Amino acid sequence: MDASQFEKYQEFTEETIYNLSQKVTMLEKKLDIFTNLLEISKYINQYIKDPNLFTLINDLLVGVFGAEHSTIYIRMNHDIYEAVSQNISEERAAVEKNLILEHDQDEFFISNDVPMYGTDHIQEGIHSCLGVPVIVENRLIGFILIQHTEKNYFTRDHAIFLSLIGNHIGVAIENNFLYKQIRDSAFHDGLTDIFNKRYFFETLNMVSNLTEQNYCIVILDIDNFKRINDSYGHPMGDEVLKTISKLILKATRPNDIVARYGGDEIIMFFQNFTDREKVYQRIEGIRKEIEQTMITNDNDAISITVSIGVYIKHDVYMTLNDVIKKADEIMYLSKNSGKNRVTIGG
């Protein structure tokens, strides 16, 4: 073999080794992607029933991509998108929804010289954004957006990997929503759509230091409910329960718990609401609203009253059952004192 042949052979060998090395590197990258994808899928599936699933996923994406923020948008009816992330400003949501609608069902890269969110001081340093659609069985169910403070931060590889993750996230979202529907069905009263007794006790019994916390329990009983059923029929009785439940929900806070306690009894839990005068004003307002509301069913129209017992637990060590027992006893004081009134103890 002469020198020229040896040189050609050496060049061929080096090129072959280089090409093989590149292929090995690519295979290693793909293996890393699939390994990471498997681990991410396991993590998401682990929390499939968790009510904080979206927060967990967003935190995961921020960590995986080294991003500043992540947001999941769910596609509602008529191509309206709603963010399921918490603590997102109206301005940021408006900008991101517009980006999603502008790009229809396509992934997109945004890189701006100026910050993307003008007056939103928390987000004013964001210069890059990657958005990918979340598709399940050829159905667009939402979008994932991740942001970074650097310009041109996101690459095609980021988009591919986020799309792969998006498939798993899409399935998780649908399963989470399905589980939530089943859970809500199990914990809501079928007639009134307020919580049921099971939810009330399961939720509060999970609070580890409830015996030490300040709160009040309210028990409401409909006056002469049996007479209403006997005189006007059970459909009217059902309408009474549904109307009262709606009035109570309108007068309570999102973190208060309102549940059907018995046939015609409703129980309420108010966390950190122990000022006697304010409690009375709130509950007396509910009583008056009920008294002044005409309830109709077919051609019948009636007004009803309720008797209410309130026990305020403040700076005292008591179990939930003991507090409820006190509220129940106080409710019967209202009953025995002429009905249609609020009585407070504690």
Considering only CA atoms, which of 217, 235, 216, 240 is closest in space to residue 304? 240
Check: CB of residue 256 under 8 Å from CB of residue 270: yes
Q: Could you report the per-residue pLDDT of 286-342, keeping only the tens digit for each?
A: 999 999 999 999 889 999 999 999 999 999 999 999 999 999 999 999 999 999 999
Domain assignment present for 274:
yes
pTM to 2 decimal places: 0.57
- Residue with the bigger pLDDT between 213 and 54: it is 213
Secondary structure element (H or E) that encloses residue 247, with its range: helix 234-250
Domain assignment present for 140:
yes
Secondary structure element (H or E) that encloses residue 143, with its range: strand 139-148
Q: Which one of 151, 186, 221 terminates a domain? A: 186
Residue 318 sits in the same domain as residue 214: yes
Q: Could you report the per-residue pLDDT of 252-277, keeping only the tens digit for each?
A: 988 899 999 989 999 999 999 999 99
Q: Which one of 164, 186, 208 terminates a domain? A: 186
Residue 89 sits in the same domain as residue 230: no
Q: What are the residues whose beta carbons fall under 8 Å from the beta carbon of 68, sequence distance 6 or more? A: 62, 125, 126, 147, 148, 149
Residue 169 sits in the same domain as residue 93: yes
Q: Which structural domain range is residue 332 located in?
A: 195-345
Count: domains in the chain: 2
Residue 152 sits in the same domain as residue 256: no
pLDDT surpasses 80 at 72 = yes
Confidence tier at 30 by pLDDT (50, 70, 90): very low
Residue 129 sits in the same domain as residue 217: no
Residue 52 sits in the same domain as residue 164: yes
pLDDT surpasses 70 at 249 = yes
Q: Which one of 142, 163, 186 terminates a domain? A: 186
Q: What are the residues whose beta carbons fall under 8 Å from the beta carbon of 253, sequence distance 6 or more? A: 270
